[in-house]
């Protein structure tokens, strides 16, 4: 089988998303930033949100070197009112949203019986409720368009358990279940719902660190999986992608 050179790969994918509007939650740093950059490289206009305005502004400046239109806004994706305002502003500034990446997430680790109710609510609201709120706000427009891609960033922790992972695993198992049901609810509308499950990624992600950062996944590895999803032929979709480091740490 012939190998595809990096030069040819860049030529064939650049501009594939021209005319598309992509929204990435938690898009100011780490995995979210890498995904936003990749979508911009592919030609999409990109909207990002997060809580840190300085980081958002820095990422938006970088995105403007890759695509024509960029929009950013601070937003708490666990609050329905702020989600609605951000989605509405994105559609006003950029147009109907065709790609949604639910990436916002946090990590809280330790034995479940030692965690507080506040910690439970915080991780469930950020990792799971936000996915519901943002998707709910975006889906009506996608239905009117008759197409769209929703990519939910989960984790291999949504498929496996480990000591100290009670709250985090519960939130990500919830992402798996919600994503699967959304896929069935929306496929007849031409909307594809995919879930990406990375292993440990070398980012500023709070909580449980990686054993060996040199062997961990990079944010760009997850962005590459998103690229595969959004460039897939329209008559099919990738329902779930697992991304693992080549070498175990």
Q: What is the average pLDDT score of the chain?
A: 92
pLDDT at 247: 84
Q: Is residue 5 part of a domain?
A: no
Q: Would you say 66 and 41 are in contact if contact means Cβ atoms under 8 Å apart? A: yes
What is the reported pLDDT for 9? 44
Give a yes or no: residue 98 inside a domain. yes
Residue 1 pLDDT exceeds 70: no
The CATH number given to whatever domain includes residue 232 is: 3.40.50.720
Annotation marks residue 168 as catalytic: yes
Say which of 72, 86, 109, 168 is annotated catalytic: 168
Is 79 contained in some domain?
yes
And the tokens for 130?
Answer: 């936000």
Q: Is residue 1 situated within a structural domain?
A: no
Residue 113 half-sphere exposure, CB side, CA atoms within 13 Å?
1
| Lowest-pLDDT range of 11-20, 28-37, 75-84 | 11-20
pLDDT in the model for residue 6: 43
Euclidean distance between CA atoms 103 and 78, whole angstroms: 13
**Could you report the per-residue pLDDT of 37-65, keeping only the tens digit for each?**
999 999 999 999 999 999 999 999 999 99
* Total structural domains within the chain: 1
pLDDT category at 138 given cuts 50, 70, 90 is: very high
- pLDDT-derived band at 205 (thresholds 50, 70, 90) equals low
- The pLDDT score that the predictor gives to residue 118 is 98
Instruction: Note whether residue 3 is domain-resident.
Output: no
Identify any residues that bridge with 70 across adjacent strands, giving them in sequence order.
46
Note if the pTM is more than 0.85: yes
């Amino acid at each position: 089988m012939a190998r595809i050179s990096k030069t040819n790969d860049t030529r064939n994918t650049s501009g594939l998303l021209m005319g598309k509007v992509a929204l990435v939650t938690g898009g100011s740093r780490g995995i979210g930033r890498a995904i936003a950059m990749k979508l911009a490289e592919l030609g999409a206009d990109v909207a990002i949100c997060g809580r840190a305005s300085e980081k958002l502004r820095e990422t938006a400046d970088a995105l403007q070197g890759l695509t024509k239109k960029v929009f950013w806004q601070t937003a708490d994706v666990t609050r329905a009112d702020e989600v609605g305002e951000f989605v509405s502003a994105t559609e006003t500034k950029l147009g109907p949203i065709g790609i949604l990446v639910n990436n916002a997430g946090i990590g809280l680790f330790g034995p479940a019986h030692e965690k507080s109710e506040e910690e439970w609510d915080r991780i469930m609201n950020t990792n799971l409720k936000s996915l519901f709120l943002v998707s709910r706000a975006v889906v009506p427009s996608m239905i009117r368009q008759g197409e769209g891609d929703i990519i939910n960033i989960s984790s291999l922790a949504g498929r496996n358990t480990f000591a100290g992972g009670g709250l985090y695993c519960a939130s990500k198992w919830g992402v798996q279940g919600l994503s699967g049901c959304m896929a069935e609810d929306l496929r007849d509308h031409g909307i594809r719902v995919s879930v990406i499950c990375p292993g440990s990624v070398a980012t500023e992600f709070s909580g449980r660190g990686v054993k060996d950062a040199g062997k961990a996944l990079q944010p760009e590895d997850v962005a590459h999986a998103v690229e595969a999803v959004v460039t897939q032929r329209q008559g099919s979709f990738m329902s779930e992608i697992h991304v693992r480091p080549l070498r175990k740490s």
